[in-house]
A and B are shown apart, each in its own frame.
Chain A
Amino acid sequence: MTNGDLKIKLPEILPSITFEEGGQWLNINIEPKEWLLFAKNLRNNPDLDFDYLFCLTCVDWRTHLTMVYHLESTQYRHTIVVKSKLDRNKPEIESVSQIWRTTDFHEREVYELFGVNFLNHPDLRLLILPDGWEGKFPLRKDFEDPVNMIKL
C-alpha cells in the first residue's frame, strides 16, 4: 500500500490517530491506551500485515517521553512509524511482545534505560545493566554519573 492508501485505511481502524508530515515514512501518533488494540490490527489485518518490527526505541524530550515503533510488512513492503507520547513521571504503555516476539528484548532495554513500564510484559527485568541498578535511567537527558561519564 502507498502512504496515501494507508492514510485512508488506518483511520478506519482507529479514528483517533493523527498523521505527522515530513520524514521518510508515514508517521502516526497514537494514545498509549489504544496502542495494544491498534497493534493487533496492524499485525492481523490481511491488507496491512505488519509482521516485522525492525526498530523499537524511546526518545526523552525532557517534558515527555516518546515511544517510537518502526514497522514493516515483509509481504507488501510498506513501512510506518508509530509514536506515542508518555508521561515522563509515570511512563506506561502496553507491551506488544505477544504480537512481535522481538519486542521482548527491546522493551526490556527501553525499560532499564528509560524507565518505561511495559504493562503485561511476561518478564520485565534488567537486561544489560547490572543488578541493583533500578531507579536511575541512563538514556534520560537528566542522568548524571560523575564517575563513569566524561563530559566532552
Chain B
Amino acid sequence: MYRETQIVDDNSTASPDVEGDLVINVGPQHPATHGVLHLVITLNGETIKKLDPHLGYIHRSIEKMCESLSFRQFIYVTSKMDYLSSHINNHGCALCVEKGLQIEVPPRAQVIRVLMDELTRLASHQLWWGAMAMDVGALTPFFLAFREREMINDIMEESCGTRLTMNYMVPGGVMDDVHPNFQKRVNEFIKHFKNKIDEYDELVTGNVIFQNRTKNVGYISKEDAISYGMTGPSARGSGVQCDIRKLYPYEVYDKLQFDEIIEAEGDSFARYIVRMKEMRQSLSIVEQLIDNIPAGEFQAKTKAVLKLPKGEFYSRVETARGEFGVYIVSEGGTTPYRIKFRSPGFSNLSALDHMARGGKIGDLVAIMGTLDLVIPDIDR
C-alpha cells in the first residue's frame, strides 16, 4: 500500500543534530527502479536506515498458472518472467522436462540453444549497461546500447519470430531450424560489436565521475552474498564462484573455452566490471560456435502428449542475472502437480537492504543499477 511521506519522531534513534526520520517512497513508478518496484526507505538525514521492498505489482501467480498447463504449454509462460533472458528461462524448463523423460537432445539443437542463450545474455547485459549508465547520469550510453541490442533483436526476430519473449525452446530441442541468414548476420554482429565493446569501456568504465559514483558503494562480503543467496554477476562481484555453466555444465558448455569472471572487491564497480568482462566471454562463446553448428535434426522425436513420471525434478541454468532453478513435482499426469521457479532476482533483491543500509540515498541507484533487477522475474 502506498504510504504518505511523513516525518517520524523517534527520539531514541535520532542523532542530536537531526530532528527525525523521513520515510520516503521510491516507486512503484520511478525511472530508476526499471519497472514496478516499490521501496519504502527510512532516512536519517541523507543516510539510509532501513529499506523495505514492497513487491507484487506485477505478480501474475505464474506458478499457480503452470499447474493447469501441460508440460509443453507451461514453457511459454516462463518467458514472461525474466523477459530479458526469456531464452534461458525456456531453456531451464525444457531441461527439467527432458530430465524427467530422459530425452536426448540432438547436437545441432544443443549448439543452437547455447548460441541463443549467449546472444540473449549479450542483449541483456547491453541493456543493463545503458540503463545503469543512465541511472548515474550519463544518457548517451543508453542510445549506444540500444543500437547494438537492436542487431541481436533482429537476429532473434528472423529465427524465433519475436524480439523479446521468444518461446523458441521446446522439450527435445528447438521449435524450428535457424533462419538461413542466421550465420551471416551473427558473424556481422560479432565483427561490429568487437569494436563497440572497447568503445563502451572508453566511454564509461574509465570515466572518473562514474568510478567515483560506484567505487566503495554498496559493499557486500562473500559470506553475506552466499547467505543472501545471491547469484550471477552480482555475486561474482563479491568473489563467489557460482557460474552454473562452469559448476554443473549443461548442453555443450563443458566443451567450450571461456572464463568465469570473478572480482573480489564486492562493490558496485566490481559488479559492473564482471558484466563488462562477461560480455567479452559471451561474444567469444558465440564466435566459437557460430561456424561449427553441426548438421542434423533440430528436435528429438517426442510424444505429442508428454507425461512426466512420478517424482521430483530440478534443473539449474545460468541466466543473465544468476541461477534460475525449476523445481517440478509430478504425479505422473500431463500437468505438473507443483512448480517452483527459483528466480535469481528475488534473492538478489533480498540483499539490497543489507547493501544500502548506512549508505547515502544518492548512492541507491548506483547499487540498484548493478544488481540488474528485472521486476517480473522477482514477482513471477
Chain A residues packing against B (C-beta within 8 Å): 22-25, 51-55, 57, 59-60, 68, 70, 74, 77, 100-102, 104-106, 109, 127-131, 138-139, 143, 149, 151-152
Contact = CB atoms under 8 A, between A and B. Distances in A.
A74 B241 contact: yes
**Nearest 4 Cβ contacts at the A-B interface:** A102-B229, A128-B56, A105-B350, A57-B340
Contact of A139 (B63, B68, B99): B63
B224 interface: yes
A109 B247 CA distance: 28
Contacts of A128: 55-56, 59, 379
A22 B330 CA distance: 14
Interface of B: 1, 54-56, 59, 61, 63-64, 68-69, 99, 223-224, 226-229, 231, 240-242, 247, 311-314, 316, 323, 325, 327, 329, 337-338, 340, 342, 346-347, 349-351, 354, 379
B92 to A, nearest CB: 13
B68 A101 contact: no
Nearest to B230: A102
A101 B340 contact: no
B312 A100 contact: no
Contacts of A53: 229
A129 B57 CA distance: 9
A22 B100 CA distance: 12
Contacts, number: 84
Contacts of B340: 55, 57
Contacts of A143: 64
Given A23-B311, A24-B314, A105 B61 contact: no
A52 B346 CA distance: 15
B56 A70 contact: no
Given A105-B346, A139-B64, A129 B56 contact: yes
A77 to B, nearest CB: 7
A51 B1 contact: no
A74 B226 contact: yes
Given A52-B226, A74-B240, A101 B354 contact: yes
A77 B244 CA distance: 12
State the main secondary structure of chain B at its contact with A: mixed
19 contacts: A24-B312, A24-B313, A51-B223, A54-B231, A54-B342, A57-B327, A60-B338, A70-B325, A70-B327, A74-B226, A74-B240, A74-B241, A102-B228, A102-B229, A109-B346, A130-B1, A139-B63, A151-B68, A152-B68
B56 A130 contact: yes
Given A54-B342, A55-B342, A128-B55, A105 B347 contact: yes
B227 A129 contact: no
Candidate in B69, B313, B346 with the most chain A CB atoms within 10 angstroms: B346
A106 B350 CA distance: 9
Nearest to B380: A128
Nearest to B55: A128
Contacts of A138: 61, 64
Nearest to A140: B64
A102 B56 contact: no
Contacts of B327: 55, 57, 68, 70
A51 to B, nearest CB: 5
Contacts of B338: 59-60
B226 A51 contact: yes
B106 to A, nearest CB: 24
Contacts of A139: 61, 63-64
Contacts of A77: 247
Nearest to B325: A55
Nearest to A123: B52
Contact of B329 (A24, A25, A59, A131): A59
A60 B241 CA distance: 34
A102 B347 contact: yes
A23 B312 contact: yes
B313 to A, nearest CB: 7
A54 B64 contact: no
A123 B119 CA distance: 40
